[in-house]
């Protein structure tokens, strides 16, 4: 029955990740989740009371041809494949090291990371907008055409602005930006984008003259880059 489970196996379970998930579920979202579960459970009990209707439907299901069942199964399989494709697409734009030697993010990790990533991008965007308005004031009258664009220091030129903000927000302790010190693949701290990360392993090695292997230091996908340019060009 299990067709390709092995080929796409991915593991993102770790004590840190479990902790991250429990942290995630210890907030208000968990309360909402519990309420939803309660509500659904109640609905199920109500459904059980309407057993007669269900029995009739079940009888009709028994008359289903094998072909019909296979068709439904195939559709469901295709639906799940599409869902997984979408999940892969989401993984591709996540700030997560990707490659044959790197474990794929699990689905739950992907969703949690995506959520935090979006939140972090939003806050960094706000921060940048605030910075821009602080620097230029409310108007731009002091900066005529004679003033060229502000050039970042050479050391930062290679990095995408959003990447810089990622590094700055996450803190150098949590994610050293392309230094000679190694940093770890996503753990709970990474997933949560916490400013402090207690344990750093040596999963990524930085070699002089070589690009940082972490996704934070990779050029952002065109979709994100264009998004950021859109928001920055305001």
Residues that bind DNA (CB under 7 A): 1-6, 8-13, 17-18, 40, 47, 50, 53-54, 57-58, 61, 69, 71-77, 79-81, 84, 106-109
Q: How far is the CB of 148 from DNA (least distance, A)?
A: 48
Q: How far is the CB of 184 from DNA (least distance, A)?
A: 13
81 vs 129, which CB is nearer to DNA? Answer: 81
* Among 225, 226, 218, 180, CA closest to 202: 180
Q: How far is the CB of 76 from DNA (least distance, A)?
A: 4
Q: How far is the CB of 213 from DNA (least distance, A)?
A: 19
76 vs 127, which CB is nearer to DNA? Answer: 76
Q: Where are the alpha helices (DSSP H) in the chain?
A: 15-24, 28-49, 51-62, 66-92, 107-136, 154-157, 161-170, 188-192, 222-232
83 vs 132, which CB is nearer to DNA? Answer: 83
8 vs 138, which CB is nearer to DNA? Answer: 8
Q: How far is the CB of 187 from DNA (least distance, A)?
A: 12
102 vs 227, which CB is nearer to DNA? Answer: 102
d(CA 104, CA 106): 6
Burial state string for 33-48 with b = 16 or more CB within 10 A and e = fewer than 16: eeeeeeeeeeeeeeee
CA 61 to chain centre: 40
């Amino acid at each position: 029955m299990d067709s390709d489970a092995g080929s796409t196996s991915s593991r993102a379970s770790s004590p840190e990740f479990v902790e991250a998930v429990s942290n995630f579920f210890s907030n208000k979202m968990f309360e909402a989740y519990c309420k939803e579960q309660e509500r659904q459970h109640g609905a199920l009990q109500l459904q059980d009371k309407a057993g007669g209707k269900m029995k009739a439907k079940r009888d009709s299901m028994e008359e289903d041809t094998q072909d019909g069942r296979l068709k439904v199964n195939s559709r469901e399989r295709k639906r799940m494949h599409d869902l997984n494709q979408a999940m892969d697409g989401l993984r591709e734009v996540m700030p997560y090291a990707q490659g044959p030697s790197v474990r794929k993010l699990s689905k739950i990790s992907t969703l949690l990371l995506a959520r935090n990533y979006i939140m972090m991008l939003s806050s960094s965007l706000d921060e940048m907008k605030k910075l821009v308005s602080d620097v230029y004031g409310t108007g731009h009258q002091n900066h005529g055409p004679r003033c060229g664009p502000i050039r970042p220091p050479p050391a930062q030129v290679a990095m995408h602005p959003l990447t810089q903000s990622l590094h700055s927000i996450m803190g150098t302790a949590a994610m050293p930006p392309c230094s000679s010190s190694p940093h770890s693949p996503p753990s709970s701290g990474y997933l949560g984008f916490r400013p402090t990360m207690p344990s750093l392993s040596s999963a990524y090695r930085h070699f002089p003259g070589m690009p940082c292997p972490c996704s934070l230091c990779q050029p952002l996908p065109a979709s994100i880059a264009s998004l950021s340019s859109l928001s920055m060009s305001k």
